[in-house]
Amino acid sequence: MTLTDDARTEASARPAPPEPFYTEDHEAYRETVREFLKREVLPNYEAWEEARLIDRTAWLAAGEAGMVGLAIPEEYGGAGELDRRYRMVFSEEIARANTTSFGVGLGLQDDIITPYFLHIGTEDQKQRFLPGLASAELIGAVAMTEPGTGSDLQGIRTSAVRDGDDWILNGQKTFISSGIQADFAIVVARTDPDAGSRGFSLFLVETGTPGFERGRKLDKVGIIGQDTAELFFRDVRVPAENVMGEIGGGMGYLMQNLPLERLGIAMASLAGAEAALEWTLDYVYQRRAFGQRIGDFQNTRFELAEIETEVDVARAYLERAILKFNAGVLTTVEASKAKWYISELQQRVVYRCQQLFGGYGFMLEYPIGRAYRDARIQTIYGGTTEIMKEIIGRAQAARYRD
């Protein structure tokens, strides 16, 4: 069969097929992550979950293997790699290995802690903290949420009052990820009660500073191996060199960094949904009931067909969002859409997949049981689904202002 001249012209006029999302370098990194998890994490993960704490040696091993600090410039000990596709590869392998607690801790370092130093840190602060973050010898936390405030950041009551060149910090924080092990916390405090959104600032408070105390290790529903704590600040003296950015710029810095945090949650959510689908497909085509494989029942096929389609559609949006972030053009609204939709999708996927496991789905020895437990937080932290919709809705309303 030969093509006519018209057919050849039409074929040559078609756009080239899209390039694969991942390159050979990303796939090589995947093998490195997979081998690291197999060697350093999986043999110890159950013990960490029981202790409700990831062992410090695992953090150091992650630093040595290049699992953290990808975006940190080489002069500070990092890889200087800004391509977020590598973080997506990491999220996918964490989900497949069902080691969410470990992934959340490292994600906090790369997606939340490190950007503050990269964007607003002084050279002295970068020299003091970035090498330790790159090697995972230092663990950081962001002390933002307070009892009674939740997503209402403007309700923060922790205060910082100037005393000469220093600041005196007083207040309480809760739900602080890595709060038990953190070597320092980036603390959000009110520095001017009359300045509205310009009345908040960020302070670096290091472990051992008098008046800085950790409360109890909080007992969570899921991701139980990742430590979460209450923090207390009683007349904590913070030197001027530990102020991050400008006084009064705290709220703006938080808003600047939240899109990356929300993109990271969306990435982990999609990876979790895809892993749940993989486990379920394997299960339903091995398990038999009423004389046939569970996967051969029409209801099972319809359920899994819907799930796979929804996951594939979500991946298309997320891949575009990641590439836009790489290009520096991802908006807050786009990140909010990815966060709320994909985290809610993960809830639906895990729930429906667990149902297909029957009674075994309720057993933690099956990966879907732990995934069901660990997935629940995704629609809550980093800004609840309701807050994401409010952000999107406000942007819509702004387009129709007189």
pLDDT digits (tens, 9 = 90+) for 140-171: 999 999 997 766 677 799 999 999 999 999 99
pLDDT digits (tens, 9 = 90+) for 209-249: 999 999 999 999 999 999 999 999 999 999 999 999 999 99
Contact assessment for residue 149 and residue 173, using Cβ atoms and an 8 Å cutoff: no
Q: Hunting for tokens 């809830």 — which residue is that?
A: 347
Q: One of 230, 261, 310, 334 is an active-site residue; which one?
A: 261
Residue 286 has pLDDT above 90, yes or no: yes
Compute how many other C-beta atoms are within 10 angstroms of the C-beta atom of residue 151.
Answer: 15
pLDDT at res. 276: 98
Rg (CA), the chain: 23
Residue 318 has pLDDT above 60, yes or no: yes
Q: Hunting for tokens 């320092």 — which residue is that?
A: 184
Closest CA to 260 of 116, 392, 155: 116
Residue 13 has pLDDT above 70, yes or no: no
Residue 389 has pLDDT above 90, yes or no: yes
Residue 2 has pLDDT above 60, yes or no: no
The pTM of the whole model exceeds 0.95: no
The Cα 350–Cα 354 span in angstroms is: 6
State the average pLDDT over residues 279-288.
Answer: 96
Angle between helices 367-375 and 332-356 (to 10 degrees): 140
Three-state secondary-structure class, residue 1: coil
CATH class of the domain comprising 252-398? mainly alpha
Instruction: Give phi and psi for 8, each to the nearest 5.
Output: -65, -40
**Lowest-confidence region among 11-25, 57-71, 193-207:** 11-25
The Cα 312–Cα 53 span in angstroms is: 34
The Cα 245–Cα 243 span in angstroms is: 6
pLDDT at res. 17: 74
Q: In terms of residues, how long is the chain?
A: 402
The Cα 170–Cα 206 span in angstroms is: 15
Q: Domain extents for the chain?
A: 24-138, 142-248, 252-398
Residue 122 has pLDDT above 90, yes or no: yes
Residue 23 has pLDDT above 90, yes or no: yes
- Domain 24-138 is of which CATH architecture? Orthogonal Bundle (1.10)
pLDDT at res. 1: 47
pLDDT at res. 151: 67
pLDDT at res. 14: 73
Provide the mean pLDDT of the chain: 94
pLDDT at res. 302: 98
Active site residue 261: yes
Residue 334 has pLDDT above 50, yes or no: yes
Closest CA to 250 of 373, 162, 367, 143: 143
The Cα 140–Cα 318 span in angstroms is: 27
The Cα 106–Cα 399 span in angstroms is: 38
- Residue 46 binned pLDDT confidence (cut-offs 50, 70, 90): very high
What residue type is assigned to position 128 of the chain? R
- Residue 336 binned pLDDT confidence (cut-offs 50, 70, 90): very high
Residue 66 has pLDDT above 80, yes or no: yes
Q: Per the CATH hierarchy, to which homologous superfamily does domain 142-248 belong? A: Butyryl-CoA Dehydrogenase, subunit A, domain 2 (2.40.110.10)
State the average pLDDT over residues 50-56.
Answer: 95
The Cα 144–Cα 261 span in angstroms is: 14
